[in-house]
């Protein structure tokens, strides 16, 4: 793990996520939180920084990981992305910590093969042209990694951000919370590419925190797979 180093930043609650009320102070308080939650995708962007610094674009092409968002990160929290291990996982794990408290983990795969897409009702396909805004997401959030702008490639947070968009368009009408993703990189995508997302709803169930949904998504550019994501969220809060 010597090629992965701790990295720290200050969490920023981007206006990109204001459509979800929990990412506003008023909406977060109405849902029982102390103040606006920083989006899980933003926390994920921070956690990828030490991975890309250590493993480079090879990880962006064929690596991945399992993201678990355990407790909220709030706007202006100081976040430390530390490197450690996790029982039952062979590779390194990045933890997003606030004052030593683990808020999220990313159990990483240096290389991984996406499983076959799971069966379930199809959601509406989504096609998005990748723009400068996608490249700049991390920079605006506090991730100052330069590789994305230098190589004109979109950062890995793009895939979880677009996965959230699929949820917004198909499954949620009010406050909701992203809790988990399994991410399999399959290639690089660049500014100007159009990515199409095909999604299947593989599970929907009740939990103590509310109704959850699990969606299997495939991201394709010009008929070439670039990512696969299994995305889970609480779509109706209790």
Residues 56-60: what's their mean pLDDT? 96
Residue with tokens 């979800």: 20
What is the model's pLDDT at position 139? 85
Q: Does domain 7-237 have CATH number 3.10.129.10?
A: yes
Instruction: For residues 103-127, give the mean pLDDT.
Output: 96
- What ranges do the domains of the chain cover? 7-237
Identify the pLDDT of residue 122: 98
Block residue for tokens 């399959």: 186
Q: How far apart are CA 17 and CA 162, in angstroms?
A: 12
Q: Which of 210, 215, 205, 223 is nearest to 32 (CA)?
A: 210
Pick from 41, 62, 170: nearest CA to 104: 41
- Note the pLDDT of residue 2: 57
Query: Is the entire prediction scored with pTM above 0.85?
Result: yes
State percent of the chain over pLDDT 70.
99
> What is the model's pLDDT at position 175?
87
Q: Which residues are paired to 10 by β-bridges?
A: 78
Instruction: Please give the structure tokens belonging to residue 59.
Output: 């990880």
Res 95 pLDDT > 60: yes
For Cα atoms 219, 181, 213, give the angle at the middle one, nearest 5 degrees: 95
Half-sphere exposure of residue 89: CA atoms within 13 angstroms, side-chain side:
16
What does 54-110 look like in DSSP terms, one character per residue? Answer: HHTHHHHHH-EEEEEE-S--BTT-EEEEEEEEETTEEEEEEEEEETTEEEEEEEEES
Query: For residue 52, is pLDDT > 70?
Result: yes
pLDDT of residue 217: 98
- The predicted model gives 208-223 an average pLDDT of 96
What per-residue confidence (pLDDT) applies to 116? 96
């Amino acid at each position: 793990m010597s090629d992965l180093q701790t990295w720290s930043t200050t969490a920023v609650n981007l206006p990109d996520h204001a459509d979800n009320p929990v990412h506003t102070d008023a909406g977060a308080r109405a849902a029982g939180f102390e103040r606006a939650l920083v989006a899980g995708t933003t926390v994920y962007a921070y956690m990828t920084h030490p991975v890309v610094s250590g493993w480079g674009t090879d990880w962006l092409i064929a690596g991945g990981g399992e993201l678990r968002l355990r407790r909220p990160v709030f706007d202006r929290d100081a976040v430390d992305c530390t490197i450690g291990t996790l029982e039952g996982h062979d590779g390194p794990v990045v933890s997003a910590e606030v004052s030593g408290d683990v808020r999220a983990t990313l159990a990483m795969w240096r290389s991984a093969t996406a499983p076959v897409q799971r069966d379930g009702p199809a959601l509406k396909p989504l096609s998005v042209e990748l723009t400068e805004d996608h490249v700049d997401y991390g920079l605006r959030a506090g991730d100052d990694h330069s590789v994305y702008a230098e190589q004109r490639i979109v950062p890995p947070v793009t895939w979880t951000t677009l996965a959230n968009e699929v949820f917004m368009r198909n499954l949620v009408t009010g406050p909701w919370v992203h809790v988990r993703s399994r991410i399999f990189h399959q290639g690089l995508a660049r500014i100007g590419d159009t990515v199409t997302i095909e999604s299947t709803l593989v599970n929907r169930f009740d939990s103590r925190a509310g109704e959850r949904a699990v969606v299997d998504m495939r991201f394709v550019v010009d008929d070439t797979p670039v990512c696969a994501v299994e995305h889970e969220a609480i779509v109706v809060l209790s």
